[in-house]
Chains A and B, each alone.
Chain A
């Protein structure tokens, strides 16, 4: 018996070759948590991004084929969320809040300082590949604004003077 779903995507799949064993294992784990492959799409993209830093066209295709989802629909998911990166990012992603509380607390001046320090604007990556700067609407720490995340770490009560030291530790860590 052929079920319809299995016919959706061409059977010439490169997905199994492209995805790594660990990625497949994690995706399969997520699959057990949802009734529907469509719901796993976002998690699978996050898994691929965790292992590869970003979601390339090839990764997108591999995930779509592996989950038998239309690639256009998965691209819709990938582009809807701005924390799924469809372009390569630096080793450390700076999520910089420019929402209202941080704005009141002077985030614009701090952001100018970051841009000067790193030589990048929103959406850009430093030439040494260390940092990518991305705006976010809120990081849930409004009482300690301005706030940013660098990689997994939250930095609060940002002061222009601290920035050099903060970035230095990530540069060092990258070496």
Chain B
């Protein structure tokens, strides 16, 4: 990292040993960076110090002669050159033992039945502090627990009142429905009444809580100890961000997802879609055998030969949710000219534009860590909380840069969390939202511009022109509030590190172009072209949208494929992990599939496309295979196989390609697409491992290996081999703490919890020693210019736009049981005026009629929405979104239509619901 070299180092003495440490830090953080064992609770690497728990007490001495010293809290003590401290001093040791004893007074003796057991920071710290025997024999304080929804268990009796939960949930993540209640020994962390935790990041409580107050409810239904989980470094496939995760498997089931630290991307936190959205891997309906159109099972050989037979005259449609190797193998099978992208027409246009900006040296697509450094942000049309939730969490941190400025002026160190918040009060760096209604970031936004999508684009083009006159002007004033636009222009122009965010989420290419104009205008306004590129964050929809786009010729859209089939130009169709009915008007898909002589679909769960296929080939899920994915930044990352699939399912590249090993598929992909040429960098160098040695997927304490299949055969079977990677399905091999190649699940002696991550970082919040941050593929070439302002749309009628939901919009997570419990039904969000004008009330069934289709959904009446726009959310219903066209009309649907939409709207978390009478 660039910042590391800039840090000033000073010498301090800890227990008579001299160390070089960062000058702008505190003693606890530096002790942990040095790898020293100093216990703590309330401190968190991402949330700084508050000095609440008193667990990290050390002795500090005035000088070499000082033999007495003073007890001081390491987390609250700034580093000073020449400081002398002691962790081992008997009085400090004794003090820490006293603190843990009092914290433990009411803690239950329930480790054997507690799900935190074995990865519990409290267990670790209790042992480290030497509190081995409990002397307290009085009555313990007990609490009533709350129902907190389908994701999180609540067991308040285990609480040690460190306040980390509310510091994360409300201060860091902006949640409003979890707070500290009461005081003294009966302090309680909960909601004001029972109910699902509303924050999209609630699952992080499981990892933030140092003990078992908040545990993973989904995991608890099929629970295993941490040491019994087989794991490997993986990538979340929930959206285009590519957060790093560590899935855990036991007995052939994917049991849970936890965050895997990545210094540039997700850091310590992931969203609830990522954590709770992978239940589909264990779905009872998973495709297990190759099948023909009659549902007859075929053996693999027959299936492959039938695939090869039709491939010569086939075109193929790739998948933004499949890895590069799967897409590449299919592309190779049918030939590049016959390989088509799997995007909707609107998304394809957005992706083309995003890719064009990705090649422009004027811009930089920032990582999450860089997003957090922005001091003025404009989000243009993208509902980030629902399309790329982890980015929304980063934007929430960016507004705190004003607080850090104020802290600097008062010489308060940034890690003094409570003091920084106190001095800032409500002062924030500006965040401006251009949206079609209220969003989940409104509470930290300076202002929102609410308009229809085309209105937003008009205003955004006008804003670019206000920032710099070279940007083309919209006819008229853009229709917005010109004083407001002027203010936004000035604040963005005055910022040190402004950031513009847009994306493919709403399928409006003009918004992406307008975002480009604004960023380009800002760059011009800032002076010459030699300065650093401007941060332009363009979000892609799915885990490998970018990878698929890089592998696809620009003219080979999905629509073009459908045309080729309908016109007879192409005979057969091979579809890779893609439900075409989600991407194109149903009538066109029907026509194309009807015209195709043979359709082959590769997928992992049945859908409308596999139902129409003549041959269905089952593929492995993300945790059952190796794959590389390219995120919104153009960062390629490798997701390792965690566990095996025991059915006939294979990785798609094995069905369609002729590669003996995964790495051959990867290298062939890198060699055949210029943009992918550095893809091989994601493979770790394992040449130093002795004798072709392997790294274990299973922890050293993995239990039951000889017994877990004893119901089938008392002889222990040979461990499964993994010829495809450097990992073994075994606990044998070189563990992560002794080899810097890979890290899935951190563990170190005395550190069983996830806090052991500090043992693997160069320094706190720094890169991992197992430093795989992926490979940035995109090279910037020729610069572009301003986009012209689009012609004003003369069409009348209500503008249709997609409404995204964190729970429901992503295809596979929406088939996970836990996510389904939080999914609302299909709805169309409209303004109260529009609802009243059509005789609609909130929750009523409404018929949305468009060009070639009409769908029935629930009306969701939202007070902040402008008239003239309808935001349609399909949930998991078979809704012909693309058949509706750009403009729709509304009408009340028959009364019984709402009955089928039985999930209702109760699960929606929106701030501006205008309830019907």
Q: Is B484 an interface residue (CB 8 A)?
A: yes
Establish whether residues A11 and B912, one from each chain, have CB atoms under 8 Å apart when the complex forms.
yes
**CB nearest neighbor in A for B435:** A2
A2 and B442 within 8 A (CB): yes
The interface centre, meaning the residue of A2, A3, A4, A7 with most chain B CB atoms within 10 A of its CB, is A4
Contact B911 A9 (CB under 8 A): yes
- B181 pairs with A75, CB closer than 8 A: yes
For B431, give the chain A residue with the smallest CB separation.
Answer: A4
- Alpha-carbon separation in the docked complex, A12 to B426 (Å): 25
Nearest chain A CB to B242 CB, angstrom units: 29
With an 8 A cutoff between CB atoms, is B443 at the interface?
yes
B611 close to A (CB within 8 Å): no
* Residue contact A2 to B178, C-beta cutoff 8 Å: no
The stretch of A66-74, A96-104, A164-172 that contacts the partner chain: A66-74
Cross-chain contact A12 with B176 (CB below 8 angstroms): no
Contact of A7 among B177, B192, B443, B914 (CB under 8 A): B443
Q: Which residues of chain A (98-145) have a CB below 8 Å from chain B?
A: none
Residues of B within 8 A of A9 (CB): 911
Q: Check A161 for interface membership: any CB of B closer than 8 A.
A: no
A4-18, CB < 8 A from B: 4-5, 7-12
Q: Are A2 and B864 in contact (CB under 8 A)?
A: yes
Contacts of B913 in A (CB 8 A): 10-12
Contacts of A36 in B (CB 8 A): 425-426
A8 with B443: CB separation less than 8 A: yes
Give 25 A-B contacts (CB < 8 Å), ordered by A residue: A1-B447, A2-B447, A2-B450, A3-B445, A4-B442, A4-B444, A7-B864, A7-B911, A8-B176, A8-B443, A9-B911, A10-B913, A12-B915, A36-B425, A70-B170, A70-B176, A70-B177, A70-B179, A71-B192, A73-B179, A76-B180, A76-B181, A79-B181, A79-B188, A80-B181
- Whether the Cβ atoms of A11 and B914 lie closer than 8 Å is yes
Q: Could you say which residues of chain A place their CB within 8 Å of the CB of B182?
A: 79-80
Q: Please indicate the chain A residues that have their CB under 8 angstroms from the CB of B448 in the complex.
A: 1-2, 4
Interface centre among A9, A71, A72, A73 (most CB of B within 10 A): A72
A12-B914 in contact given A36-B426, A60-B192 (Cβ < 8 Å): yes
How many residues belonging to B are interface residues under a CB distance threshold of 8 Å? 35
CB distance from A112 to the nearest CB of B (A): 22
Give the CA-CA distance A23 to B575 in the complex, in Å.
66
Which residue in chain B gives the minimum CB-CB distance to A7? B442
Closest-by-CB residue of B relative to A73 is B179
B180 to chain A: which residues have CB within 8 Å? 76
A57 to B194, CA, bound (A): 13
- Which residues of chain A are near B446, meaning CB under 8 Å? 4
B765 CB to nearest chain A CB (Å): 28
Nearest CB on B from A71, distance (A): 5
Please determine whether B443 and A5 come into contact, CB atoms closer than 8 angstroms.
yes
Whether the Cβ atoms of B914 and A75 lie closer than 8 Å is no
Of residues 816 through 865 on chain B, the ones whose CB sits less than 8 Å from some CB of chain A are 863-864
B residues 162-216 near A (Cβ < 8 Å) are 170, 176-183, 188, 190-193
Contacts of A79 in B (CB 8 A): 181-183, 188
Determine whether B806 belongs to the interface, using a CB cutoff of 8 Å to chain A.
Answer: no
Given A10-B912, A60-B192, A72-B192, decide whether A3 and B178 contact each other with a Cβ distance below 8 A.
Answer: no
Q: In the complex, what residues of A have CB within 8 A of residue B863's CB? A: 11
Instruction: Select one of A7, A72, A74 contacting B178, CB under 8 A.
Output: A72
Interface bits B505-520 vs A (CB < 8 Å: 1, else 0): 0000000000000000
Tell me the count of chain A residues lying within 8 A, CB to CB, of chain B. 23
CB-nearest residue of chain B to A74? B192
B501 contacts partner chain A, Cβ-Cβ < 8 Å: no
B-contact 0/1 string along A50-81, CB 8 Å cutoff = 00000001001000000000111111100110
New contact pairs (12) apart from A3-B447, A4-B446, CB-CB < 8 Å = A1-B447, A2-B448, A2-B864, A8-B442, A57-B193, A70-B176, A72-B177, A72-B190, A75-B181, A76-B179, A76-B181, A79-B188
Write the A80-94 contact mask toward B (1 if CB under 8 angstroms, else 0). 100000000000000
Which residues of B lie under 8 Å from residue A80 when comparing CB positions?
181-183
Q: Does B57 contact A (CB under 8 A)?
A: no
Which residues of B lie under 8 Å from residue A4 when comparing CB positions?
441-446, 448
The A-contacting residues of B in range 862-917, CB under 8 angstroms, are: 863-864, 911-915
> What residues on A are CB-neighbors of B443 within 8 Å?
4-5, 7-8
| Interfacial chain A residues near B447, Cβ < 8 Å | 1-3
Given known pairs A2-B448, A10-B911, A80-B182, the reply for A72 and B442 (CB within 8 Å) is: no
The 3 A-B residue pairs with the shortest CB-CB distance, nearest first, are A70-B176, A72-B179, A7-B442
Question: How close is B862's CB to chain A, nearest CB, in angstroms?
Answer: 10
Tell me the nearest residue of chain B to A9, going by C-beta: B911
Which chain B residue lies CB-closest to A60? B192
Q: Which of B421-446 contact A (CB under 8 A)?
A: 425-426, 438, 441-446
Task: Using CB atoms and an 8 Å cutoff, list the residues of chain B in contact with chain A.
Answer: 170, 176-183, 188, 190-193, 425-426, 438, 441-448, 450, 481, 484, 863-864, 911-915
Chain B residue at minimum C-beta to C-beta distance from A76 = B179
Closest-CB distance, A76 to chain B (whole angstroms): 4
A12 to B911, CA, bound (A): 10
Output the least CB separation between A155 and chain B (Å).
Answer: 27
Which residues of chain A come closer than 8 Å to B426, judged between CB atoms? 36
Task: Tell me which residues across on chain A come within 8 A of B438, comparing CB atoms.
Answer: 2, 7
In chain A, what residue has the closest Cβ to B842? Answer: A12
A137 smallest CB distance to B (angstroms): 11
How far apart sit A60 and B192, CA to CA, in the bound complex (Å)?
10
Give the CA-CA distance A6 to B498 in the complex, in Å. 25
Report the Cα distance A72→B193, complex, angstroms: 8
Contact with B along A33-46 (1 / 0, CB 8 A): 00010000000000
In the complex, which residues of chain B have a beta carbon less than 8 angstroms from the beta carbon of A10?
A: 911-913
Q: In the complex, what residue of chain A is closest to B182 when comparing beta carbons?
A: A79
B463 CB to nearest A CB, Å: 14
Tell me the smallest distance from the CB of A132 to a CB of chain B, in Å.
18
Select from chain B the residue with minimum beta-carbon distance to A8. B443
A140 to B314: give the CA distance in the assembly, Å. Answer: 90
Are B450 and A75 in contact, with the CB atoms below 8 A? no
Interface centre among A8, A9, A57, A79 (most CB of B within 10 A): A79
Query: Nearest-CB distance from B562 to chain A (Å)?
Result: 41
A80 vs B190: C-alpha distance in the bound complex, in angstroms?
14
Cα A9 to Cα B447 in complex, Å, equals 17
User: Which chain A positions have C-beta within 8 A of B425?
Assistant: 36
A61 to chain B, nearest CB (A): 8
Closest to B193 in A: A57
Chain A residue numbers with a CB within 8 Å of B442 are 2, 4, 7-8
Complex CA–CA separation, A3 to B170 (angstroms): 19
Residues from chain B with Cβ under 8 Å of A72 in the complex: 176-179, 181, 190-192
**Distance between Cα atoms of A75 and B481 in the complex (Å):** 39
Residues on the B chain within 8 Å of A70, using CB? 170, 176-177, 179
- The closest CB in chain B to the CB of A71 belongs to B192
Tell me how far the C-beta of B179 lies from the nearest C-beta in chain A, rounded to whole angstroms. 4
Residue of A nearest to B441 (CB): A4
Shortest Cβ distance from A85 into chain B, in angstroms? 14
Q: How far apart are B789's CB and chain A's nearest CB, in angstroms?
A: 24
Given the complex, which residues of B lie within 8 Å of A71, measured CB to CB?
177, 192
Residues A75 and B484 in contact, CB atoms below 8 Å apart: no
B179 x A1 contact (CB < 8 A): no
- Identity of the chain B residue whose Cβ is nearest the Cβ of A3 in the assembled complex: B447
Chain A residues with CB under 8 Å of B177's CB are 70-72
Query: Complex: how many Å from CA A115 to CA B570?
Result: 92
Which of B181, B188, B425, B914 gathers the greatest number of chain A CB atoms within 10 Å?
B181
A73 vs B178: C-alpha distance when bound (angstroms): 8
Task: List chain A residues, Cβ under 8 A from B190.
Answer: 72
B759 to chain A, nearest CB (A): 36
- Per the bound structure, the CA–CA distance linking A74 and B178 in Å amounts to 11
What are the residues of chain A within 8 A of B445 when measuring CB–CB?
2-4
Docked-complex contact A75 and B179, CB < 8 angstroms: yes
For B191, list chain A residues within 8 Å (CB). Answer: 72
A133 to B438, CA, bound (A): 48
Question: Which B residues are in CB contact (< 8 Å) with A3?
Answer: 445, 447
Q: Could you say which residues of chain B place their CB within 8 Å of the CB of A57?
A: 193
